[in-house]
Amino acid sequence: MKTWNAKNNEITPAWWIVDAEGKTLGRMATEIATVLRGKHKPTFTPHVDTGDFVVVVNSSKVKMTGNKWDNKKYYSRSRFFGSLKEQTAKELLEKDSDQIVINAVRGMIPRNKLGRKLMNKLKVYETAVHPHAAQQPAALEIKG
């Protein structure tokens, strides 16, 4: 028996929408990463993009447990000496709440060409308004 591998032209991606209001960040990010990667489908092939598009709305109302709003740090730097910058999760939420969800999902996606392609399928919006209504995204149920 031969192993079946998906091909790029055989995959038709679906669209999913996730309402992040009141959802725990890590639990939500694992479900989103699974759908982006395509692991929820029986046609999953590790080296082919078999995943779906995910639209996340209300990213500014995401929840973190414990003291993570004050203790969790996000680091960024350029390649110049002394350029290391750090922000707490609360500061990043005020500045750009989309980046909190994007960073959480990016940490669960492979770090290669396929991973960069998968991250382009993630659309995150701060409010409930999004321009993807024409794609008729189905609701993705996430616990927690």
Q: Which domain holds residue 34?
A: 13-63+96-139
Note whether residue 52 is domain-resident.
yes
Note whether residue 4 is domain-resident.
no
Instruction: Encode pLDDT of 69-92 as tens digits.
Output: 999 999 999 999 999 999 999 999
Note whether residue 74 is domain-resident.
no
Note whether residue 79 is domain-resident.
no
Domain count along the chain: 1
User: What's the distance, Cα to Cα, between the start and end of the chain in Å?
Assistant: 41
Q: Which SS3 state, helix, strand or coil, does residue 130 take?
A: coil
Note whether residue 109 is domain-resident.
yes
Note whether residue 75 is domain-resident.
no
Structure pTM? 0.94
CATH number of the domain enclosing 107: 3.90.1180.10
Q: Side chain identity at 41, as an amino acid letter? A: K
Tell how far CA 3 is from the center of its chain: 30
Judge contact between 50 and 8, C-beta under 8 A: no
Residue among 101, 142, 99, 114 nearest 38 (CA): 114
- For the chain, what percent of residues have pLDDT higher than 70? 99
C-alpha 65/C-alpha 92 separation (Å) is 16
